[in-house]
A and B are shown apart, each in its own frame.
Chain A
Amino acid sequence: MLRRLQLSLNKEQIKYLAILSRMDIQDSEIKDVVDKLSRIVEFVDQLQAVSTEGTEPMAHPLEQGQRLRIDKVTEDNQREKIQLNANETNNGMYLVPKVID
């Protein structure tokens, strides 16, 4: 059964997607984003018309199974080197605005 989907997105949907993906979209950008994203969605909608009855989804081009790694500690403490890239730390911890539970 083919579902009739919306052919374009609206501002509310774009705002929701921006929230889900934690990215600010400026008011000045919104119209352009709505327009471009709508066109993209319209474009990919052509897949709806394709018959895929009985076809398995393809997650990987490889037909092999996951390789297993021996349970061994192979990484040592590299905190100093790694945290050269950190923005703010305290006693080795990464600092962020307070997380409220």
Chain B
Amino acid sequence: MIIKEIQNMTLCALKQGMKDKDFTSLEITEVLLSRINGLGATLNAFITVTAEQAIKEAKDADKLIATGKDKPLLGLPIAHKDLFCTDGVLTSCASKMLHNFIPPYDASVVKNLKASGAIMLGKTNMDEFAMGSSNETSYYGPVKNPWNLDLSPGGSSGGSATAVAACLVPAATGTDTGGSIRQPAALTGITGIKPTYGRVSRFGMIAFASSLDQGGVFTRSVEDAALLLGEMAGFDENDSTSVDVPVPDYLGGINQPVKGLKIGLVRQHFDAGLDDDNAIAVKEALDVLKDQGAVIIDIDLPNIELSVPTYYVVASAECSSNLSRYDGVRFGYRAENYKDLNEFYCKTRGEGFGAEVKRRIMTGTYVLSAGYYDAYYLKAQKVRQLISQDFKKAFEKVDLIAGPTTPSPAFSLGAKMDDPIEMYLNDIYTIGANLAGLPGMSIPCGFVNGLPVGLQLVGKHFGEESLLQCGHHYQQATDWHLQIPEQFK
């Protein structure tokens, strides 16, 4: 098998290929590692590449395969966002604060995927502490969009998205707090899914905003997403917010037809904020689904415009507290010169955190502070309830909600760094699902000026199956998800 083919293959195809003895896990791993090595500097998608460990694991996997043993992901290479703790491997959250942090344990997600046989090729770049929508706040420098190296791939999971889109890995994990999987998936033309809140364990997933964070995946097909999600998900007794609901066979059930599926189109989505061309691509995608038997129904999410300010109050409040543990006492960056305890704290944290992180911590501190708590934090929690209720009402009429993932295609690196609000508004379509804890997925649905556009599907609580079935059917009737950037073919 030619190298070029291996790099473009999906997980399912690779799995079949190993089964058919077309190639070994070691061969796949070596191809991809050499690719990562060659293109590393160009894209800056990886912070750490675990080549030696990967080769060893690949060899072990091949031995196991030879004995006839099988595991769902045996011998398949993936990458992890550098926010998942990996035992013995640097986990930096793309921050100076953790640039030397080697966790002594694996995140539950990492453990689950390892147990299923997956091989880790490395840790991907991201926005610092997952705060950002463009992967420009990383201590290790920005990630480039493989469709145009002057553009951002989106964020915060920009590294994972780019790695998958540029065929450096067939799949990678990510986290999504306000859209950090779906938005980069849309901007890089791949599939990205954020499950229902509580579906995937947050233990070992370094916290940004606890009531919003969820771990998910980037893949080049919905089929792959179904495979990977099935192995990642599951109840974890180490996470109090993990839900004890059995994990369905996502991959096995993926061919359920979409005929009669009721898909809601949000009136509020299609307004001035959405690029005309994006709107067209999304509408065309819906036509395809209509052809497949889905029924499109107009719905309202009257409070959806409030989702961005609501999110910013809630997320910054939670992160301001979650990041208080970074003080140089037990691990992580510690300032060099300080004259007393207070200076020790202030310099360590002032030097260890980047500007965006500091801004969010201060915003969070502000909205929780005495005299402001009721007006901001408590208020935001109430508006969050309203937004959730809107979704609940909508789901009485429809099975899924469809719409654009982002207001426009990928933007230039540096374009939105001056105005935080402009950057925040990138997440306008994705944030609602985080606030309500609903599963959401972005799949490629077209191009605008050569840049990918994403279609977002949002489902009911624990309705991942519907999302995957619908997405899979769409991908069987279209080939947007098979497109690869010219430079990386």
Seen from chain A, the residues whose Cβ lies within 8 Å of a Cβ on chain B are 3, 5, 9, 13-14, 17-26, 29, 32-33, 36-37, 39-41, 43-48, 50, 52, 55-62, 64, 66-67, 69, 78, 81-82, 84-88, 94, 96-100
Between-chain CB contacts (< 8 Å), 14 pairs: A13-B366, A18-B346, A21-B320, A21-B362, A23-B362, A24-B350, A40-B359, A43-B421, A47-B313, A52-B386, A59-B211, A66-B240, A87-B328, A100-B341
Count residues on chain B whose CB falls below 8 Å from chain A CBs: 73
Q: Kindly state the separation between the CA atoms of A38 and B207 in the bound complex, as whole angstroms.
A: 26
B382 adjacent to A57 (CB under 8 Å): yes
The interface residues of chain A lying within 8 Å CB-to-CB of B324 are 21
Return the CB mask of B340-353 against A: 1 if under 8 Å, else 0.
11111111011101
Beyond A22-B327, A50-B386, list 17 extra A-B contacts (CB 8 Å): A17-B366, A23-B350, A26-B350, A33-B358, A37-B359, A40-B359, A43-B312, A47-B310, A57-B384, A60-B437, A61-B435, A61-B436, A62-B198, A64-B243, A87-B328, A87-B334, A97-B343
The interface residues of chain A lying within 8 Å CB-to-CB of B287 are none
In the complex, what's the smallest C-beta–C-beta distance from B357 to chain A, in angstroms?
9
- Which of B45-53, B121-129, B160-168, B372-380 sits within the interface? B372-380
Specify the chain B residue showing the minimal Cβ separation from A42. Answer: B421
Q: Does B419 contact A (CB under 8 A)?
A: yes
The interface residues of chain B lying within 8 Å CB-to-CB of A18 are 346, 350, 362
Identify B420's interface contact among A39, A67, A82, CB under 8 A.
Answer: A39
Among B341, B347, B366, max chain A CB count under 10 A is at B366
The interface residues of chain B lying within 8 Å CB-to-CB of A60 are 211, 241, 437
Identify B355's interface contact among A29, A44, A46, CB under 8 A.
Answer: A29
In the complex, what's the smallest C-beta–C-beta distance from A63 to chain B, in angstroms?
9
B365 adjacent to A20 (CB under 8 Å): yes
Identify A61's interface contact among B100, B211, B332, B349, CB under 8 A.
Answer: B211
Q: Kindly state the separation between the CA atoms of A98 and B102 in the bound complex, as whole angstroms.
A: 27
A57 adjacent to B359 (CB under 8 Å): no
In the complex, what's the smallest C-beta–C-beta distance from A82 to chain B, in angstroms?
6
B420 adjacent to A61 (CB under 8 Å): no
Q: Kindly state the separation between the CA atoms of A55 and B102 in the bound complex, as whole angstroms.
A: 44
Specify the chain A residue showing the minimal Cβ separation from B342. Answer: A22
8 Å CB contacts to A: which residues of B406-459?
419-421, 424, 435-438
Q: Quick one: given A94-B330, A97-B344, are A57 and B240 in contact (CB under 8 Å)?
A: no
Specify the chain A residue showing the minimal Cβ separation from B347. Answer: A24
B331 adjacent to A85 (CB under 8 Å): yes
Specify the chain B residue showing the minimal Cβ separation from A61. Answer: B437
Specify the chain A residue showing the minimal Cβ separation from B343. Answer: A97
